[in-house]
Structure 1
Amino acid sequence: MRNLKYNIYNLFVLGAMVIAVSSCKKDGNPNNLPSVSASSYEGKIDGYLSSDEVYPKNLVAYWSFDTDNKETKSGVAPTTAVNSSLVDGGVKGKALNLSAGYLYYATQLNAFKTDSLKSFTISSWVQILNNGSKRTMLFTIARPGIFNGSLDFRLNTNSFPSTTTNILRVGPRFTTVGGGSQDNLNNSLSPIIGADKWTHLVLRYDGTTGVFNIFGDGVNIGSFNNRGVGNNLFKSYEPGEIIIGAHYNNIPGKSTNADVTFAAMTGKIDEMRVYNTILPDAHIKALYNLGIAGK
């Protein structure tokens, strides 16, 4: 009888333990969420398989430079291409190589019309050196006959000699609703550059707050980010033209004055993307990490 009572007690304890374990398992997933498989994340970087998956609905202009110089969303080809070629060794596939060259698009892109572009993020990979004498215009939404564009993605390659590869001053500017000018500069932080190093540069502008950021290799490096609202907000004027690698004054017959601040670009460009929204920091970092991985 004693052994029977002992066995009954043991069964009671065992049953209580089973119930307790079952209860713990249930409490560990109180909302009955579906299970997650590690295989779903294989090959992904920051949640993405490629740069093409980053904010695709807001990507309004894209130059891959894999097969030609067309802007892929509109299919618009450059009106003029000078000292340019497509070469192997890009961040993804081929890249645009400029030897004191540029691409000029005289066609107004719908994505850059006044009512279409309020906020933006512009991402581009470059291989470039300082030159100690001339600025480089990486990308501009130019205004015919006017020196300053609606947006000028300027690289102050004039600031240091070519031997300086630990500092690149990025000095973008834009024209405001009131007709004035706002800019930014990376006074203290800088990405590393080099003739054979791909450097990721990003401009991000919030058309509601007036905050204008510069990123270099995934890091926010700008020094003068708050550019104001009201008449200080960015405006994409019409008509607008696109120039990659040069200023109007570098294009024969298009000069607006005698200013010789800029020289046509010598270097490489790849994966130039324009979004009509502000990409969060984590997604800018993802574009950098994906590019480093060739994705």
Structure 2
Amino acid sequence: MKNKSISLQTLLKSVLAILLLLSVFEACKKTDDPVVIPVDKSKLKARIDSATAIYTAAVEGVQVGNYEVGSKATFKNYIDAASIVNGNTAATQSDATNAYANLGVGMTNFAAKRVQEIAAANLILYLKMDGNANDASGKGFNGTLKAGAQPMSATVTSGTTTAAVSWTGWGGSATNVPALTKDRYGVDGKAYTFDKGSNIEIPYNSVLNPAKELTVAMWVRPTRIWDNNYVLSLNRWNGYKLNLQGANKVFMTVKTAPGKIIDKDNDSPTLDVNKWYHVAVSYKSGTMTFYLNGTPVKTWTDVSGDPYAVKSNINMTIGQDLPSNLYNLSTDNDADGNVFYGPWGGFFTGDLDEIRMYNVVLSDTQVKSIYNAEKP
């Protein structure tokens, strides 16, 4: 009986001990600090180091390998934002992951600001206009100074009706050729001024009619606003043309197939008269982009088709829509369906300089680098 009593006491003591342990355990659970899961910032740190090295080595400028002026400051903002997260002890793993991704975006954007070389083969025409109309691209497409269309008469045929008409042309004369003038720097004899159809005529070559892509860039100073301010033309609307319309916006036409003509403008802003602008337009199927002073101002994506291969060997003209001698022809169509009736034409009034043409679409950075290299 005694042994049983001792056993019962021992059992009770054991139960009490277990209960005491359980109470202590519960107390510990309530008072201990929460478990901290370490944040892995190793990938973020490595990307910051890599981005910093790129930033430090980068040089801004307009030469190949340089980065667009002002792009380093933007890139530094990405690096600084990532560094703040990396140094924040309260940052979560989600914060580190997001910072890593955002810095990656900054690195990609900065890489796109690096000036890429434009292959010499892609420059198909370059008129410096430094005292002449010679081509500096190496392709040999030298231009000839031409007078505007002269007063003339023509026989016009429409259906079964033939009639003689006369008109006064542009009011030019045999000596009305482009004249040397001051360029955007104010230097004499380094640009040409155009009016009343005076133009530069460049012999036709299929190289000037790119099969897939096209970029035209030039310095333009309009001195008159009107509907048919033709700056550059290859067979009018049967090839491609660049002109300033009545609203004084840059306007580009590209024919892509028989009966299919793309007409677009830079949307905004309009150009002021008596002011120099760097104008550029690029085209490929799916995209036409307009630039003013190195900045893209409008991109159209509702365009399609490759530039049309013109059938007629009509010379390119700068300052007028067609070679002057073609205005003497009747309304009979050429192989591309062009009409050579003079009053339908137009000419540019103003100054032009540094005309470049490429058979590729230049990147935004490449256009900006040309502008930065040539701006006053």
The two structures have a TM-score, normalised by structure 2, of 0.54
Matched, 1:176 2:267: no
Alignment of 1:214-293 (within 5 A): 214-222=290-298, 224-228=300-304, 232-238=305-311, 239-248=313-322, 251=325, 252-253=327-328, 256-258=339-341, 260-293=343-376
Partner of 2:75: none
- Judged with a 3 Å threshold, the aligned counterparts in structure 2 of structure 1 residues 268 and 36 are, in CA distance, closer, same or farther, namely same
SS in 2 for 1:202: strand
- Give the Å deviation of 1:234: 1.8
Structure 1 position 124 matched with structure 2 position 203: no
Give yes or no for contact 1:91–1:270 (8 Å, CA) kept in 2. no
Change beyond 3 A, Cα 1:223–1:48: closer
Structure 1 window deviating more from structure 2 (87-96 vs 59-68): it is: 87-96
The match for 2:195 is: 99
Question: Does structure 2 retain, via aligned residues, the 8 Å contact 1:250–1:264?
Answer: no
Is 2:329–2:341's contact at 8 Å kept on the other side of the alignment? no
Verify the 8 A CA contact 2:133 2:145 in the aligned structure 1: no
Choose which of 189, 193, 203 in structure 1 pairs with 2:272.
193
Paired residue for 1:141? Answer: 234
Amino acid at match of 1:55: I
What runs of 5+ residues in structure 1 fail to find an aligned partner? 1-26, 160-167
One-letter amino acid matched to 1:59:
L
Contact in 2 for aligned 1:123/1:202 (Cα 8 Å): yes
Q: Which string of whole-angstrom CA distances, capped at 9 and with x for unpartnered residues, describes residues 209-256 of structure 1?
A: 43112222223233644212xxx3322324342100101286543573
Tell me, yes or no, if structure 1 residue 76 matches structure 2 residue 115.
no
Deviation of the 1:87 alpha carbon: 2.4
Q: Which has the higher helix share?
A: 2
What is the TM-score when the length of structure 1 is the normalising length?
A: 0.67
Q: Using the alignment, how far apart are the partners of 1:46 and 1:291 within structure 2? A: 18
Aligned pair count?
240
Identity of aligned residues (%): 18
1:75 is paired with a residue of what secondary structure? coil
Aligned CA-pair RMSD: 3.6
How far did residue 109 of structure 1 move?
2.4
Indicate how the Cα distance of structure 1 residues 91 and 274 shifts in structure 2: closer, same or farther if over 3 A, else same: farther
**Superposition deviation, residue 176 in structure 1:** 1.4
Structure 1 residues 212, 222: CA separation in 2 closer, same or farther (over 3 Å shift)?
Answer: same
Contact kept? 2:180, 2:192, Cα under 8 Å: yes
**With CA pairs under 8 Å and 6+ residues apart, which has the higher RCO, 1 or 2?**
1
CA distance in 2, matches of 1:249, 1:109: 15
In the alignment, the residues of structure 2 paired with residue 35 and residue 124 of structure 1 have an alpha-carbon distance, to the nearest angstrom, of 32
**Following the alignment from structure 2 to structure 1, what is the Cα–Cα distance between the partners of residues 217 and 272?**
16
- Post-superposition offset of 1:88: 3.2
Code of the aligned partner of 1:286: S
Q: 1: CA distance between counterparts of 2:219 and 2:131?
A: 17
Separation (CA, whole Å) in 2 of partners of 1:59 and 1:92: 27
Asked if structure 1 preserves the Cα contact closer than 8 Å seen for 2:287 and 2:299, the reply is: no
Matched, 1:212 2:257: no
Contact 1:140–1:149 under 8 Å retained in 2 = no
The alpha-carbon distance between structure 1 residues 28 and 59, as it changes in their structure 2 partners (threshold 3 A), is: same
Contact 1:138 1:153 (C-alpha < 8 Å) held by counterparts: yes
Shift of 1:37: 7.1
Does the CA contact (< 8 Å) of 1:212 and 1:225 recur in 2? yes
Partners of 1:274 and 1:98 in 2: how far apart?
Answer: 20
Q: For the Cα contact (< 8 Å) 1:136–1:262, is it kept in 2?
A: no
Contact 1:191 1:217 in 2 (8 A): no
